[in-house]
Structure 1
Amino acid sequence: MLELLGLSGLAERLYQAVLTDPARSVAMLARDTGMTDRQIRSALDELADLALVRPSAAADGTLWPVSPAVGLSALLAAAEDEAAARQRQIEATRAAIAALAAEHAEQRQHRAEPAVRLDGIDAVRGRLEELAANAVTECLSLNPGGADRPDARAASAQLNEQALRRGVGIKAICRESFRNDPDTLAHARWLTDLGGEMRTVPIVPTPLVIVDRRVVIVPLDPADPRQGALELDSPGMLSVACALFDQLWSTATPFGSSVTVDGQGLTSAERTLLELAAAGHTDEAAGRKLGVSGRTVKRQMADLMARLDADSRFQAGVRAAHRGWL
């Protein structure tokens, strides 16, 4: 209880004992407290250093306890002075951070470019960290696959937690296939347990991040987001980005809910696979869009063909259209 004042557990126990009966010898204290002679002498040295015992005026070579109202109060006052000095240092540091952040923000505002180019993954992550730390209302993201990388999860976890604790909403849309990845599932459970929201769709068209609906980050190359990104804040681009996110969110399946089937008995992933096949995509190309292997696409396509009683992908497309599946 008194660790804040610098007392160890043994010193606190001995102090309470000598307050009860100051005249006890070391042997008697050892008997009553269960401490060894060595522990008692070490604790007495600690109490003397903290001015909680002092030499007795009546008997040479003995120590007498100082009243808690005097000794402990003095230690508490010293601790309060130290805490106050520490708080002043914290406030000064906070002011310095605010001034530096304001100067950095002013430099960005004075840029004339309609878009700020962020070259490389380090620049992108640094800017996302800054935006997340200053987010007020919400952070929205589309994640075709990059967000489920272990390094990306580690980089964003602390910021996500801090934002959620400040009351910032976090909404993420991922591909349906992420439900098959144990690591990404664990991350999704962690995020939703903290109050974030995650939904899935068969295909996420492009990576992007929207912060407070006032700035959007889009990749320079959607096929390789690690090359860098553009930061945009024009009303037109924000309108398009927000509309895309809102439309996908309204049709996505919430994490934790089972995948539903429509009136034809199709999941959204199955319907999307039929659409990709009808558009001429190979199994490998469809797999890349869906985030699954070509072998998985082939197996799913074979199942759909069997349900349609079709002998070829072309015949499956015709029969799917005839039945209203497409």
Structure 2
Amino acid sequence: MESPAQTSRQEARLAAEVNEFVVAFYERTIGRADFSPSGIAEELGAPRQRAEQAVGVLRELRLVKPAEGSADRFVAVSPEAAQMELLVPLEREILDSRHRLEGFKGQLSSFVTAFEKQSRTRAETVVITEDREEIELRLLEAAQGCTTEVLVMQPCVARETSELRLARPLVLEAVRRGAHGRILYPHTARGDSDTRAHLGELLPAGGQVRTTNEVRDRFLVFDRKTAFIPAGEGDAIAVVYDGAVAAFLAGLHARVWESAFDFDSGAAGYAGTMGDLKATLLDLLASGAKDEVIARRVGMSERTLRRHVATIMQDLSASSRFQAGVLAARTGLVDTALSGAA
């Protein structure tokens, strides 16, 4: 029995081989008691090999068949008769497949109630795992069941973690199905080409995007029922099936969302958020935070951070990072900028 892939290849080959010559060859055979490929080839002024190829195509389409009592002569068959021989078995096979499909649906429906009941009374409130396949499956389950809201807080695409990379198309699909999507990025995401490309799909689908001066955490919340949060410093993810935790994260997201800046895909660069970002950098410099900590909180690489810090030091005529922060605090730059951004 031929596999579906083999059948598909055969159909594609036949479609390519049914050309004007094959049709002309078939026309010459109609109404004759029988014919030979070489005789038709001579009439058409075509090579015998080409005629034999045409006969091969016509035989597969059941439009010619061997003449009775002769191995090298053939008889033309009407398209109606060929259709009965070729298509009726296929239609019967399709009908059988439909009956089998309905049978499977009926059998599987018996398990739907049991699955939904178990989902509602899930024994495992929190699952911590590093297994990529398990994380992907749990993301898929949560995203496919999402009907009202999906909330995301994350760094830019260039710095996103593996679970966020897996979740990106699932969040987009949930938004396209009608779920209300709110995604928070740091301001630095505005300068990341990969992030802007992703938002070029998300925004037209109905998603809302804002950026903020700091993204201290990363998480996803689906329908305020299921949350995905980091589990420590490694790659482990905690999947939390607890409405109270999901609601707490949704509240945190809402508080950050209120003071965040709307993202406009048509605006270039940082689009008016550079002042807010600079104020945050000054505040963190004044606190004496290390480059690694500052870079993580504002969502940029340490290399990019050092470029921003160098510009700030030059603007303030400061000889060190700490002095820049102190000067900014003394002159009120930090407080003024932060209050203005709020």
- TM-score bracket, normalised by the shorter chain, equals 0.7 to 0.9
For residue 66 of structure 1, report the CA deviation from its aligned partner: 1.8
Aligned to 1:254: 263
Question: Cα–Cα, structure 1 residues 252 and 88, in superposed 2: closer, same or farther, change >3 Å?
Answer: farther
Question: Cα–Cα, structure 1 residues 29 and 248, in superposed 2: closer, same or farther, change >3 Å?
Answer: farther
For the residues of structure 2 that align with 1:101 and 1:277, how far apart are their CA atoms? 56
* Secondary structure at the counterpart of residue 213 of structure 1: coil
Contact 1:10 1:39 in 2 (8 A): no
| Residues 76-87 of structure 1 mapped to structure 2, 5 A cutoff | 76-87=87-98
Identity %: 24
For the residues of structure 2 that align with 1:29 and 1:150, how far apart are their CA atoms? 68
Aligned partner (choices 129, 140, 154) of residue 119 of structure 1: 129
Over residues 280-313 of structure 1, what are the superposed CA-to-partner deviations in whole Å (9 max), with x where a residue is unaligned?
A: 3233321221232445334323433544566632
Q: Which segments of 5 or more consecutive residues in structure 2 lack a partner in the other structure?
A: 1-9
Q: Which segments of 5 or more consecutive residues in structure 1 lack a partner in the other structure?
A: none
Aligned to 2:242: 233
Amino acid at match of 2:280: T
CA-based RMSD of the aligned residues comes to 4.0
Aligned partner (choices 244, 249, 253) of residue 252 of structure 2: 244
Contact 2:280 2:334 in 1 (8 A): no
For residue 31 of structure 1, report the CA deviation from its aligned partner: 7.7
Q: TM (normalized to structure 2)? A: 0.72
Instruction: Tell me whether 1:324 sits opposite 2:342 in the alignment.
Output: no
Contact 2:143 2:174 in 1 (8 A): yes
Contact 2:157 2:189 in 1 (8 A): no
For residue 229 of structure 1, report the CA deviation from its aligned partner: 0.4
Contact 1:175 1:200 in 2 (8 A): yes
| Residues 1-326 of structure 1 mapped to structure 2, 5 A cutoff | 7-11=14-18, 13=20, 16-22=23-29, 26=37, 30=41, 37-56=48-67, 61-94=72-105, 103-111=114-122, 115-122=125-132, 123-144=134-155, 148-149=159-160, 151-152=162-163, 155-156=166-167, 159-160=170-171, 162-163=173-174, 166-192=177-203, 196-221=207-232, 223-224=233-234, 226-234=235-243, 236-250=244-258, 251-254=260-263, 256=265, 257-258=267-268, 259-261=270-272, 266-308=274-316, 312-313=323-324, 314-321=326-333, 324-326=336-338
- Give the number of aligned pairs: 317
Question: Cα–Cα, structure 1 residues 34 and 11, in superposed 2: closer, same or farther, change >3 Å?
Answer: farther
Question: Cα–Cα, structure 1 residues 107 and 271, in superposed 2: closer, same or farther, change >3 Å?
Answer: same
Contact 1:143 1:204 in 2 (8 A): yes
For residue 127 of structure 1, report the CA deviation from its aligned partner: 0.9
Of stretches 207-216 and 19-28 in structure 1, the one that deviates more from structure 2 is: 19-28
Of stretches 72-81 and 161-170 in structure 1, the one that deviates more from structure 2 is: 161-170
Question: Cα–Cα, structure 1 residues 77 and 35, in superposed 2: closer, same or farther, change >3 Å?
Answer: farther
Question: Cα–Cα, structure 1 residues 54 and 302, in superposed 2: closer, same or farther, change >3 Å?
Answer: closer
